[in-house]
């Protein structure tokens, strides 16, 4: 275990102005606070914060960060308080310690929720000061180094969390060495056999190759030097996890990998980088499609380097990375390199990391910790493409991103008002996948709003979070309107005049903060009208019971579902507005209701109202819950009827032109095919299901009649799912 004076000397070696008295006080405070506590290994607990501090001294971090490392577990695991930390070490260190304190006292539903909530708080803290993340990463690294002392199940959970969250975070801030070690330690825990296999192949390759790496390194150095440049050349072997991941991702064997060892050429300045590239390409044959210039277009974590693959010395296919000394330090040390080049790590608070600010924005608006964690993973895990605004600004996006992702990356308001996009001067569908170098011009409208269907085409967490946020708010408004109508109806059926005051008086019993919350609960099915009335009027029997409710829907049900009961006036239908898929009101896919069909609404817990046709077979499963039934009707604007999806099943001759005839007939009758699925085929016929956008039942019937008159169409029936 490192002694007190050794820690002070390590910091003083790179920071002559270190506050030795502060370091000494922190050392003593932490040692006394942890006292006789021990770790799972049996070692004194104080050895852990001391090792965390030691890891951070290797990155030459400032005194405040080292002190935070010494103190980071005192508030959580000892009797020390936040006030004591602030009184003894100042508000800055108290804030940093608070940022990395584990949240073990949170009362959460599950371990997954705990992980998500912990990560949410971590992002909030590190977005204020990136040093919080540096201490947390060092904390996790030491825990992974000593993970063998824990029980097997706990080891697996911690290793998975490390691989999912902490290694990608280390990569995002450029802490390459920590990222590699975290990945490899997790890999050894999660896939021990795979790691052992890769390591065995590496050992064999190393023994068979002998001194080939030193020979290639020396020839590269001599080649660059003969070209007139002073350069440092080295070779570095990839870690087992990095090799295994590439084998998995690219579906290649171990023998097919060309970059198990990467050679680095380090020069003095940017101009020398491009001169070195010219020398290397002039001497060796370049492998096509294996060149990347991260100097002109840096990665999101500020990584800068030139990568090229050549058929190099001894006819070996090798990867060469060319960078300056400063680029190399940033590649290895990430944000910690600011200490060396800017002497102001505190100023590097994350503002230069746009991805971190994006996480902060998602955090501030996201609904649950689990959704935040999901969207954050989307932000961190994917490869990049670089696209340009019309002004030439570079926007880095994950591979597979669309113009909608681009719009939200520019600004949330741009995404919310996006109605179209020009890609390289051409108007393109919003589902278009962007590629490197695309210039994207977002078309906007003040009346534009996010389309719920966008959630299926975006890949960035920021875009998905914003779309879900809009859906959530829109759905709440619709749930509230629907719930208020349900409450009004329930009051009248019980013989009372509807009064929001009555609901306000029962908020405590209903466990709601406002009448609006009660309406939302009614609208989305978490609260039934029967429950509402029994809690508002607990001493009064309802004036109509389940038998009367069944009678109320009796006229609507097909004969196979009818039961005995009284009748009721059905003229007071609850109005349904804003029938937007994915929001408060949904069309059932089991029966595909269309305007003109007789319909019924079923309140479904957590989903709002599901609209079914009155003869839908699925209604039988709801016959015992009459309080969930709503008599609804279409409210279609005749001037703007909108489009609805009807589904048909058809049998078409297996002959040239049959599909063309089918689509032509549908188009001539003003229908639009939104989906087509072939369900069976034979030498003579195709059986298929076709989804057609139509105005109403009559429109669909006209299309079906026209298809039946087509010689190549054998039969057409409306499909019920």
3-state SS string over 403-461?
HHHHHHHHCHHHHHCEEEEEECCEEECCCCCCCCCCEEEEEECCCCCCCHHHHHCCCCH
Q: Are strands 285-286 and 713-718 parallel, antiparallel or unpaired?
A: unpaired
State which of 194, 223, 242 marks the end of a domain.
194
Do the beta carbons of residue 333 and residue 175 sit within 8 Å?
A: yes
389: helix, strand or coil: coil
CA 278 vs CA 227, 271, 282, 283: distances in Å: 9, 11, 6, 9
**What is the mean predicted confidence (pLDDT) over 21-29?**
93
Beta bridge partners of 716: 650
From the list 277, 303, 307, the residue with the least C-alpha distance to 290 is 307
Using the structure block, give the residue that is written with the tokens 């994207």: 440
CA 150 vs CA 50, 147, 183, 294, 362: distances in Å: 20, 6, 18, 41, 34
Cβ neighbours around 95 below 10 Å, total? 18
Q: Are strands 285-286 and 426-428 parallel, antiparallel or unpaired?
A: unpaired
65, 119: one domain = yes
**What is the mean predicted confidence (pLDDT) over 381-391?**
72
Active-site residue (options: 15, 43, 77, 370): 77
Has residue 409 been placed in a domain? no
Q: Out of 128-137, 290-299, 575-584, 606-615, which region has the weakest mean confidence (pLDDT)?
A: 575-584
Which pair of structure tokens corresponds to residue 604?
A: 């479904």
pLDDT at 251: 66
Do the beta carbons of residue 444 and residue 418 sit within 8 Å?
A: yes
Give the tens place of pLDDT for each residue, 302-356: 789 999 999 888 788 888 999 999 899 888 777 666 555 444 444 444 434 454 5
From the list 659, 646, 649, the residue with the least C-alpha distance to 710 is 659
HSE at residue 235, side-chain half, CA atoms within 13 A, is 18
Active-site residue (options: 9, 43, 76, 86): 76
Contacts of 246 (CB under 8 A, 6+ apart): 252, 257
pLDDT exceeds cutoff 80 at 705: yes
* CA 12 – CA 348 distance, rounded (Å): 22
**What is the mean predicted confidence (pLDDT) over 371-380?**
48
Phi, psi of 621 (to 5 degrees): -70, -15
pTM over 0.75: no
pLDDT at 52: 94
CATH of the domain at 138: 1.10.3210.10
pLDDT exceeds cutoff 50 at 79: yes
Looking at per-residue pLDDT, the higher value among 682 and 578 belongs to 682
Which pair of structure tokens corresponds to residue 16?
A: 């002559």
186, 233: one domain = no
- What 8-state DSSP symbol labels residue 593? -
283, 338: one domain = yes
- What 8-state DSSP symbol labels residue 8? H
pLDDT at 496: 82
Do the beta carbons of residue 231 and residue 218 sit within 8 Å?
A: no
Has residue 309 been placed in a domain? yes
* CA 160 – CA 156 distance, rounded (Å): 6
33, 56: one domain = yes
**What is the mean predicted confidence (pLDDT) over 471-499?**
79
Burial class (CB in 10 A: 0-12, 13-18, 19+), 659: middle
Do the beta carbons of residue 302 and residue 174 sit within 8 Å?
A: yes
From the list 39, 33, 5, the residue with the least C-alpha distance to 143 is 39
Q: What angle do CA 359, 365, 371 make, to 5 degrees?
A: 70
**What is the mean predicted confidence (pLDDT) over 512-533?**
81
State which of 172, 194, 216 marks the end of a domain.
194
CATH of the domain at 284: 3.30.460.10
pLDDT at 605: 67
Looking at per-residue pLDDT, the higher value among 19 and 583 belongs to 19
* CA 339 – CA 505 distance, rounded (Å): 60
Contacts of 461 (CB under 8 A, 6+ apart): 358, 359, 362, 374, 375, 376, 377, 378, 379
305, 235: one domain = yes
268, 170: one domain = no
Give the tens place of pLDDT for each residue, 544-580: 444 344 333 333 333 333 333 333 333 344 445 444 3
**What is the mean predicted confidence (pLDDT) over 437-465?**
85
- Active-site residue 86, yes or no? no
Cβ neighbours around 208 below 10 Å, total? 8
653, 525: one domain = no
From the list 183, 171, 119, the residue with the least C-alpha distance to 360 is 119
Query: What is the number of structural domains in the chain?
Result: 4
**What is the mean predicted confidence (pLDDT) over 585-614?**
80
Which pair of structure tokens corresponds to residue 435?
A: 């590629």
pLDDT exceeds cutoff 90 at 264: yes
pLDDT at 16: 87
Q: Which run of H or of E encompasses 55?
A: helix 47-58
Has residue 521 been placed in a domain? yes
From the list 133, 135, 143, 149, the residue with the least C-alpha distance to 186 is 143
pLDDT exceeds cutoff 70 at 376: no
Has residue 638 been placed in a domain? no
pLDDT exceeds cutoff 60 at 652: yes
607, 657: one domain = no
pLDDT at 277: 95
Do the beta carbons of residue 77 and residue 83 sit within 8 Å?
A: no
Altogether, the residues listed in the chain come to a count of 721
Q: Are strands 713-718 and 644-653 parallel, antiparallel or unpaired?
A: antiparallel
Phi, psi of 155 (to 5 degrees): -60, -45
39, 170: one domain = yes
3-state SS string over 163-215?
HHHHHHHHHHCCCHHHHHHHHHHHHHHHCHHHHHHHHHHHHHHHHHHCCHHHH
- Active-site residue 524, yes or no? no
Q: What is the pLDDT of the chain when averaged over all its residues? A: 79
33, 70: one domain = yes
121, 245: one domain = no
State which of 346, 365, 397 marks the end of a domain.
346
Q: Is the dihedral of CA 92, 94, 95, 99 positive or negative?
A: positive
Q: Out of 122-131, 294-303, 501-510, which region has the weakest mean confidence (pLDDT)?
A: 122-131
CA 578 to chain centre: 28
In the sheet that holds 599-604, the strands lie side by side as 585-587, 608-613, 599-604, 629-630
Domain that holds residue 319: 195-346
* CA 611 – CA 604 distance, rounded (Å): 10
Has residue 110 been placed in a domain? yes
Contacts of 442 (CB under 8 A, 6+ apart): 403, 406, 407, 410, 414, 418, 420, 421
* Percent of the chain predicted with pLDDT > 70: 79
Has residue 120 been placed in a domain? yes
From the list 399, 408, 354, 357, the residue with the least C-alpha distance to 381 is 399
602: helix, strand or coil: strand
Using the structure block, give the residue that is written with the tokens 């998975």: 160
613, 673: one domain = no
Cα-based torsion angle of the residue sequence 130, 131, 136, 138 in order, rounded to the nearest 10 degrees? 120
Give the tens place of pLDDT for each residue, 167-202: 877 877 778 889 999 999 999 999 998 888 888 888
CATH of the domain at 701: 3.30.70.260
Looking at per-residue pLDDT, the higher value among 203 and 71 belongs to 71
Has residue 699 been placed in a domain? yes
Has residue 244 been placed in a domain? yes
């Amino acid at each position: 275990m490192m002694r007190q004076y050794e820690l002070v000397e390590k910091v003083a070696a790179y920071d002559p102005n270190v506050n030795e008295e502060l370091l000494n006080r922190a050392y003593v405070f932490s040692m006394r606070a942890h006292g006789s506590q021990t770790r799972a290994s049996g070692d004194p607990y104080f050895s852990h914060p001391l090792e965390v501090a030691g890891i951070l001294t290797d990155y030459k971090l400032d005194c405040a960060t080292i002190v935070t490392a010494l103190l980071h577990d005192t508030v959580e695991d000892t009797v020390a308080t936040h006030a004591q930390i602030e009184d003894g070490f100042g508000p800055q260190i108290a804030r940093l310690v608070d940022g990395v304190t584990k949240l073990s006292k949170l009362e959460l539903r599950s371990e997954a929720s705990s992980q998500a909530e912990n990560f949410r708080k971590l992002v909030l803290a590190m977005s204020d000061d990136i040093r919080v993340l540096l201490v947390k990463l060092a904390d996790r690294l030491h825990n992974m180094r000593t993970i063998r002392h824990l029980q097997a199940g706990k080891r697996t959970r911690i290793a998975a969390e490390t691989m999912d969250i902490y290694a990608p975070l280390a990569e995002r801030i450029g802490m390459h060495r920590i990222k590699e070690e975290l990945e490899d330690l997790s890999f050894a825990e999660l896939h021990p056999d795979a790691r052992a296999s890769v390591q065995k192949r590496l050992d064999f390759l190393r023994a068979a190759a002998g001194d080939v790496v030193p020979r290639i390194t020396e020839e590269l150095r001599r080649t660059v030097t003969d070209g007139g440049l002073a350069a440092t050349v080295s070779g570095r072997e990839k870690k087992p996890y990095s090799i295994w991941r590439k084998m998995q991702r690219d579906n290649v064997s171990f023998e097919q990998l060309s970059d198990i060892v990467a050679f680095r050429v380090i020069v003095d300045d940017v101009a020398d980088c491009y001169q070195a590239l010219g020398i290397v390409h002039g001497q060796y044959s370049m492998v096509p499609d294996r060149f990347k210039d991260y100097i002109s277009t840096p990665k999101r974590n500020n990584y800068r380097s030139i990568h090229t693959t050549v058929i190099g010395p001894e006819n070996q296919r090798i990867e060469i990375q060319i960078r300056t000394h400063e680029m190399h330090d940033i590649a290895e040390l990430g944000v910690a390199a600011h200490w060396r080049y800017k002497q102001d790590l505190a100023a590097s608070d994350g503002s230069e990391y746009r991805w971190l600010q994006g996480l902060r924005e998602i955090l501030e608006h996201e609904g649950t910790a689990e959704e935040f964690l999901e969207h954050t993973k989307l932000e961190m895990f994917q490869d990049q493409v670089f696209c340009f605004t019309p002004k030439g600004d570079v926007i880095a996006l994950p591979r597979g991103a669309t113009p909608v992702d681009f719009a939200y990356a520019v600004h949330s308001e741009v995404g919310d008002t996006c109605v179209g996009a020009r890609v390289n001067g051409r108007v393109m569908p919003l589902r278009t996948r962007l590629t490197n170098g695309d210039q994207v011009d977002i078309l906007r409208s003040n009346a534009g709003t996010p389309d719920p269907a966008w959630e299926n085409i975006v890949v960035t967490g920021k875009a998905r979070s914003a779309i879900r946020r809009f859906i959530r708010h829109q759905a709440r408004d619709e749930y509230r309107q629907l719930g208020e109508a349900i409450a009004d109806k329930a009051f009248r059926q019980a013989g009372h005049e509807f009064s929001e005051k009555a609901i306000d008086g029962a908020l405590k019993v209903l466990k709601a903060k406002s009448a609006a919350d009660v309406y939302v609960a009614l609208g989305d099915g978490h609260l039934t009208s029967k429950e509402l009335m029994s809690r508002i009027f607990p001493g009064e029997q309802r004036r109509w019971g389940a038998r009367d409710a069944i009678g109320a829907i009796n006229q609507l049900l097909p004969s196979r579902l009818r039961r005995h009961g009284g009748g009721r006036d059905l003229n007071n239908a609850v109005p349904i507005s804003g029938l937007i898929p994915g929001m408060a009101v949904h069309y059932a896919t089991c029966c595909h209701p269309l305007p003109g069909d007789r319909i019924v609404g079923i309140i479904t817990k957590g989903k709002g109202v599901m609209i079914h046709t009155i003869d839908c077979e699925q209604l039988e499963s709801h016959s015992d819950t009459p309080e969930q039934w709503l008599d609804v009707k279409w409210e279609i604007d005749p001037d703007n009827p909108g489009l609805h999806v009807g589904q048909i099943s058809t049998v078409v001759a297996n002959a040239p032109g049959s599909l063309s005839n089918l689509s032509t007939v549908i188009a001539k009758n003003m229908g639009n095919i939104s989906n087509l699925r072939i369900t069976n085929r034979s030498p003579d016929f195709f059986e298929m299901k076709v989804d057609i956008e139509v105005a109403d039942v009559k429109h669909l019937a006209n299309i079906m009649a026209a298809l039946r008159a087509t010689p190549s169409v054998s039969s057409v029936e409306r499909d019920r799912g």
